Amino acid sequence: MGETSLFQKTKLITDEVEKALFGKHETVQIALSVLLGNGHLLIEDIPGVGKTTLAKALARVFGGVFKRIQFTPDLLPSDVTGVSIFNQKTIEFEFREGPVFANVILADEINRATPKTQSALLECMEERQVTVDGVTHPLPDPVFVIATQNDVELSGTYPLPEAQMDRFTARLLIGYPGREDERKIMDNQAFVPIVDTLEPIMTPHDLHLLQIEARQTYVATSLREYILDIVHATRNNPKILLGSSPRGALALLNVSQAYATLQGRDFVLPDDIKMLAPVTLAHRIILKHDQRLQGRSSNNVINEVLSSIPVPLADSIKRN
């Protein structure tokens, strides 16, 4: 990607994705932070607000191998991971790769598949590999799973288990566009969807280098302790049945580093962590039954947790 600075590279990526998703700058920034943080993204919202558009846009600008899996109730785990087929000529079993052998994997409407098929992604997302018939096959590097699900239409769906949810670095809601942005969508997509015109502006190797650079972003000791305070508070909160896992703390750290990079900084601010905590932790906690009956959401409780924890002073958060 030439000799341009890290910030210039990430700005090019941001600008290209925002051509397809009008008026959602913060949403795009968070999605790209998950990508640069070497994580996986769950996009959850009502139909028609741009979940698949965002996923396709991220895949288009990242010039790697892109595969889309439409999750349905009759989808089998082997349809996702691949299968061993007997070759009569060689008298041997040959492995036929499934669609997870890609750099960007769109798991569309993931909650429409059965739990058994959903679990086919567990090893892929964590170990970046697939084991079929006792043989382990490494996935391409890097690999980025983007899953979408409709949180309104629950008929014929299977809620994602906690182990699956925990492997998603962040859960993102898109929401309705503003009136002016919706007018731009109507005007600019009358003939050809903009997402289909986006150009790849980086290669898998470029992305790998960007992920390494983003991981070098400085996080002061006080901010690392702040992340631990937040995560441990979710485990001791009387409203929460199950708190965040250690994977949640790592996710918040890595996404904060990547987000700071997208802002052109080489250090993380407390505000980065406060803003990203709900999207990286809310889907990892389980509220107690009485809280759910009262209509509380996990996002509400995470925000309550954040308001109860002192924010570190900004005196020593920059690299010396």
DSSP 8-state symbol, 281: H
On whether residue 228 sits in a domain, the answer given is: yes
On whether residue 91 sits in a domain, the answer given is: no
Asked whether 40 and 7 are in contact (CB, 8 A), the reply is no
User: What distance in Å separates the CA atoms of residue 240 and residue 281, rounded to the nearest whole number?
Assistant: 12
Q: What is the pLDDT of residue 305?
A: 95
DSSP 8-state symbol, 82: E
Domain residues for 279? Answer: 216-320
On whether residue 229 sits in a domain, the answer given is: yes
On whether residue 127 sits in a domain, the answer given is: no
On whether residue 158 sits in a domain, the answer given is: no
Q: What is the pLDDT of residue 2?
A: 44
Residue type present at position 128: R
Helix, coil or strand: residue 60: helix
> Burial of 196 by CB count in 10 Å (0-12 exposed, 13-18 middle, 19+ buried)?
exposed
Residues of the chain predicted below pLDDT 50: 1-3
On whether residue 18 sits in a domain, the answer given is: no
Q: Where are the beta strands (DSSP E) in 73-181?
A: 82-87, 92-97, 104-108, 129-132, 135-138, 144-150, 170-172
Q: What is the pLDDT of residue 3?
A: 47
Q: What is the pLDDT of residue 65?
A: 84
User: In this structure, what CATH number is given to the domain that contains residue 259?
Assistant: 1.10.8.80
On whether residue 113 sits in a domain, the answer given is: no
On whether residue 83 sits in a domain, the answer given is: no
Q: Which pTM does this prediction carry? A: 0.89
Residue 5: both structure tokens together: 């600075």
Count of domains forming the chain:
1
Residue type present at position 259: Y
Q: What is the pLDDT of residue 54?
A: 84
**Burial profile 66-86: b = 16 or more Cβ within 10 angstroms, e = fewer:** bbbbebeeebebebbbbbeee
Asked whether 119 and 130 are in contact (CB, 8 A), the reply is no
Q: What is the pLDDT of residue 57?
A: 86
Q: What is the pLDDT of residue 1?
A: 46
User: What distance in Å separates the CA atoms of residue 21 and residue 177, rounded to the nearest whole number?
Assistant: 9
Asked whether 290 and 311 are in contact (CB, 8 A), the reply is no
